[in-house]
Amino acid sequence: MSETNDTKPNATELDAEHWLQAYEQMAKIRAFEEAANELYTSARMPGIAHLYIGEEAIAVGICEALRQDDYITSTHRGHGHCLAKGAALDKMFAELLGKEAGYCRGKGGSMHIADQETGNLGANGIVGGSAGIATGAGMSIKLRGTDQVAVCFFGDGALGQGLLYESMNMAQLWKLPVIYVCENNQYGEYTHNSKTAAGSMVGRAAGFGVHAQAIDGQDIRTVHATARLVIDRARKGGGPAFLVCNTYRFHGHHVGDIDRPYRTREEEAEWAKRDPLKLLEDWLVKSKQAESDVFERIQQDVKSDVENAVNYALEASFPSESEVDRHVYA
Amino acid sequence: MSTLENGVIRSPAVHAPGERQITFGQAILEAITEEMARDGSVFIIGEDVAEAGSVFKVLVGLLDQFGSERVIDSPISEAGIAGIGVGAAITGMRPIVDIMFGDFTTLVMDQLVNQAAKTHYMSGGKLKVPMVLRTTLGASRRSAAQHSQSLHALFSHIPGLKVAMPATPYDAKGLMKSAIRDDNPVVIFEDKMLYQERGPVPEREYTLPLGQADVKRAGDDLTIVATSSMVYVALEAADNLASVGISAEVIDPRTTNPLDTEALVNSAKKTSRALIIDEGYQQYGVTGEFASVIADGAFYYLDAPVKRIGAMNVPVPFSPVMEDLTIPTAEYVVETAKALCG
């Protein structure tokens, strides 16, 4: 178990067509988040949202290695996970705007999108709150005897939560097919993790005997190759894994966190050079797998899809008042 | 408590003469065993539930019958196993999460209150959480402040959770079976002092609806609403009150959420007086909710203010002389009832 990436990315695992699909997924998430930001700043979205911009390679790299019947649990910064697992833009925006056509009929909002059909067991407003749920999904998979896998996404802030360690301990004891994905975007809200996380991040999981590694979360090739290995291993009964994906939150903690006084513009500029979309684009062009104009076309397409979805959501109806006490009990 | 047995065996409609008698603990085990045999998606997880058959020996034999895949000894990780329960429930299983002492439910608060209780609602009705969390309540085991509390009010407060607190073996079995079959998270509180209590339990298959109160003793002058082991306190008090010419009706809500408000109100309308007994702390306890329900629903029928008796508002002390002061007693109930009817 080392802090470094001990899995060699294998660029030949996916062909150019698949990498372009992955690029499109990342671009879709980026465009979605930019539109969410715009809806907030133009006061058309109730509440706030936590943007995933800068971290797209993790959700897409991992979800591209999953089957539709595999599970994910997500976080308050969860739009990217939901979309990468297959959620539709229009129902996502409708949920963000509190409309009845949304994934949760307007009852969940940005932080609670769940979509059973794509295996999304729900985003979560409690930091680290889904560690137990993902582990329970792993337990359920084991008891039902299927070869599904559950992925638990969480941020570095969740490293402060005891539930995560209780869960990883049990997952390793019982060899549950759960992949714990720590999106280390450096900050828990407004505090750098150097002030909140002592010692080694991967060492936390390694202490339980869980396969643990830290990887470059900006490079989708690395993320995807690593994901394939640990997911395949878990599917075959090899037990859980813990990935620390080093990344950066390009925007603030949420859409209203504009000044970001807790970090420097220089630091942001350094990370901006490692934009996950740009890294994939550069590699595909450099390795002559794609022409540069392809990327612009993809950008245009996803922006147009996002625009249509936003319009759909803006025009959709709010839930009727009679909806308020429905679904308290099943 | 055996003196009260006659008070419990009351309804010929439910219990046949000469019917089999088993303990409360056996009734719980029977319910879990039957449901596990009936439905392969039911499993139980908790500290010492398997090899040890639980710390109160209620689950002895379950491991042999169903194996370690479905009867799972867990680490001492209450939040973790509650989380596992939620995740397993969402994905097609019916877990029973065993939390040895009710006091330890404070460790699972996020998983129950923020996750289990809200998942169905927040997902717009798409996800369901059919899990049971079984735990205990009740003082008087000389176990001091962290192993003696009755914390059911905390969970009764939360929309999305159901809370059951059976008093008799018959109710324990019927409510446990319903809880396991229910598509919602249900917290079931078992009074650890009741595990050896015997009562009639039919051998035939039955379940009891969650949300239906039971008249444990019929009466005309005073309604005593009592939960869990306080039902026995109420029945003893009712016996004593009968000797001074006060006819008390004892109503056991059996579940605090959903609450059978109609049963409480109708009884209070009939008797015109109501007294509520519960072993949770009196302040902000379920007694307040019951009293409010009765005051609202039966106001014009009441001849006296609704009275309530909960546990004393102190941490449960260790020393027996002090501990016994903190929980409602039949003597105190009788005194209060006499004043109410005076």
A152-163 per-position pLDDT tens digit: 999 999 999 999
Spatial CA neighbour of B155 closest among B249, B12, B286: B286
Which whole number is the average pLDDT over B27-49? 98
Whether residue A276 has pLDDT greater than 90: yes
pLDDT band at B11 (very low <50, low <70, confident <90, very high): low
What pLDDT, on the 0 to 100 scale, is given for residue B16? Answer: 76
pLDDT digits (tens, 9 = 90+) for A34-57: 999 999 999 999 999 999 999 999
pLDDT digits (tens, 9 = 90+) for A167-217: 999 999 999 999 999 999 999 999 999 999 999 999 999 999 999 999 999
pLDDT digits (tens, 9 = 90+) for A71-91: 999 999 999 999 999 999 999
What pLDDT, on the 0 to 100 scale, is given for residue B140? Answer: 85
Tokens linked to B135: 């735990």
ipTM of the complex in this document: 0.94
Q: Does residue A324 fall inside a structural domain? A: no
Contact partners, residue B88, CB within 8 Å, separation at least 6: A136, A137, A139, A140, A143, B43, B95, B131
Contact partners, residue B283, CB within 8 Å, separation at least 6: B310, B313
Beta carbons of A124 and B115 less than 8 Å apart: yes
Q: What is the mean pLDDT of chain B?
A: 95
pTM of the complete model: 0.95
Q: Phi and psi (nearest 5°) for B12?
A: -65, -20
Q: Does residue A318 fall inside a structural domain? A: no
Place of tokens 């065996």: B9
pLDDT digits (tens, 9 = 90+) for B212-259: 999 999 999 999 999 999 999 999 999 999 999 999 999 999 999 999
Q: Min CA distance, B135 vs chain A (Å)? A: 19
**In which order are the strands placed within the sheet that holds B222-226?**
B214-217, B248-252, B222-226, B274-281, B307-311
Q: How far apart are CA A21 and CA B166, in angstroms?
A: 57
Which whole number is the average pLDDT over B132-158? 96
Whether residue A267 has pLDDT greater than 50: yes
Whether residue A14 has pLDDT greater than 90: no
Beta carbons of B87 and A140 less than 8 Å apart: yes
Q: How many Cα atoms occupy the beta-carbon half-sphere of B270 within 13 Å?
A: 17
What pLDDT, on the 0 to 100 scale, is given for residue B2? Answer: 35
Which residue of chain A has the CA closest to B120?
A327
Q: Does residue A319 fall inside a structural domain? A: no
Q: Which residues does chain A have within 8 Å of residue B158's beta carbon, measured at their own beta carbons?
A: none
pLDDT band at B17 (very low <50, low <70, confident <90, very high): confident
Tokens linked to A64: 């591209």
Q: How many domains does chain A have?
A: 1
Q: How far apart are CA A315 and CA B7, in angstroms?
A: 63
Q: Does residue A316 fall inside a structural domain? A: no
Active site residues of B: 147
Q: How far apart are CA B319 and CA B143, in angstroms?
A: 9
pLDDT band at A6 (very low <50, low <70, confident <90, very high): very low
Task: Evaluate whether A41 touches A258 at the Cβ level (below 8 Å).
Answer: no
Which whole number is the average pLDDT over B132-148? 95
Amino acid identity of residue A215, one-letter, is: I
Q: Tell me, what CATH number does A270's domain have?
A: 3.40.50.970
pLDDT digits (tens, 9 = 90+) for B282-331: 999 999 999 999 999 999 999 999 999 999 999 999 999 999 999 999 99
Which whole number is the average pLDDT over B115-121? 98
Residue A191 — left, alpha, or beta (φ > 0 → left; ψ -120 to 50 → alpha)? beta
Which whole number is the average pLDDT over A255-283? 97
Domain holding A299, by residue range, is 14-307
Q: Does residue A314 fall inside a structural domain? A: no
Q: Which residues does chain A have within 8 Å of residue B90's beta carbon, measured at their own beta carbons?
A: 121-122, 133, 136-137
What pLDDT, on the 0 to 100 scale, is given for residue A13? Answer: 64
Q: Identify any residues that bridge with B199 across adjacent strands, giving them in sequence order.
A: B22
Q: Does residue A322 fall inside a structural domain? A: no
Task: Evaluate whether A96 touches B110 at the Cβ level (below 8 Å).
Answer: no
Task: Evaluate whether B168 touches B21 at the Cβ level (below 8 Å).
Answer: no
pLDDT band at B15 (very low <50, low <70, confident <90, very high): confident
Beta carbons of A167 and B84 less than 8 Å apart: yes
pLDDT digits (tens, 9 = 90+) for B47-103: 999 999 999 999 999 999 999 999 999 999 999 999 999 999 999 999 999 999 999
- Of A286-295, A311-320, B4-13, B23-32, the one with minimum mean pLDDT is B4-13
What pLDDT, on the 0 to 100 scale, is given for residue A320? Answer: 97
- The domains located in chain B, with CATH, are 2-200 (3.40.50.970), 214-341 (3.40.50.920)
The minimal CB distance from A143 to the residues B43, B79, B124 is found for B43
Whether residue B10 has pLDDT greater than 60: no
Which residue of chain B has the CA closest to A150?
B87
What pLDDT, on the 0 to 100 scale, is given for residue B18? Answer: 81
